[in-house]
Amino acid sequence: MFKKKFAAIAAGAALTALALAGCSAPAAETPEAGANSDIKICVYTHGDGGTFWSVAQKGAEAAAADLGVELDYQGSTNDAAKQASTIEAGPAAGCDGIAASAPDPEAIKSAMLAADAAGIPTVTMNSGSAVFKDLGAFTHVGQDEIIAGREAGLKFNELGVKHVLCPIQEAGNVGLEERCAGLAETFNGKAENFNLDGGLADLTAASAKLQAALTADPTIDAVFALNADIAAKAVLPAAEAAGVTLKIGTVDMSPEALDAIAAGTMEFAIDQQQYAQGYQSVVLLFLNLTNGHELGGGLPVYTGPGFVTADNVALVKELVAAGTR
Q: HSE on the CB side for 215, CA within 13 Å?
A: 11
pLDDT, residue 33, reads 54
Alpha carbon 324 to chain centroid, angstroms: 13
Alpha carbon 165 to chain centroid, angstroms: 22
pLDDT, residue 31, reads 54
pLDDT class of 154 with cuts at 50, 70, 90: very high
Average pLDDT over residues 54-75: 97
- Which percentage of the chain shows pLDDT scores above 70? 90
Across the strands, what pairs with 40?
A: 70
Whether the pLDDT of residue 4 is over 80: the answer is: no
How far is the CA of 126 from the CAs of 1, 139, 143, 174, 252, in angstroms?
A: 24, 12, 6, 12, 12
Q: At 267, which amino acid appears?
A: E
> At residue 163, what are phi and psi to the nearest 5 degrees?
-145, 110
pLDDT, residue 175, reads 86
pLDDT, residue 119, reads 97
How far is the CA of 201 from the CAs of 48, 77, 241, 274, in angstroms?
A: 11, 11, 20, 22
Please name each of the domains of the chain with its CATH number.
Answer: 6-137+273-304 (3.40.50.2300), 145-271 (3.40.50.2300)
Average pLDDT over residues 58-67: 98
Average pLDDT over residues 76-90: 97
Least confident of 43-52, 66-75, 223-232, 279-288: 43-52
Whether the pLDDT of residue 116 is over 70: the answer is: yes
Vertex 45: Cα angle to 152 and 251 (nearest 5): 15
**Cα distance between residue 312 and residue 61, in whole Å:** 27
Mean residue pLDDT of the chain comes to 91
pLDDT class of 237 with cuts at 50, 70, 90: very high
**Cα distance between residue 28 and residue 33, in whole Å:** 12
Task: Judge residue 52's burial from the number of C-beta atoms within 10 Å of its C-beta, 0-12 exposed, 13-18 middle, 19 or more buried.
Answer: buried
Q: What number of other Cβ atoms are within 10 A of residue 311's Cβ?
A: 10
Average pLDDT over residues 133-142: 98
Q: Residue 308: helix, strand or coil by DSSP?
A: strand
Cβ(227)–Cβ(200) below 8 Å? yes
Q: At 305, which amino acid appears?
A: P
Whether the pLDDT of residue 307 is over 80: the answer is: yes
pLDDT, residue 11, reads 45
pLDDT, residue 52, reads 86
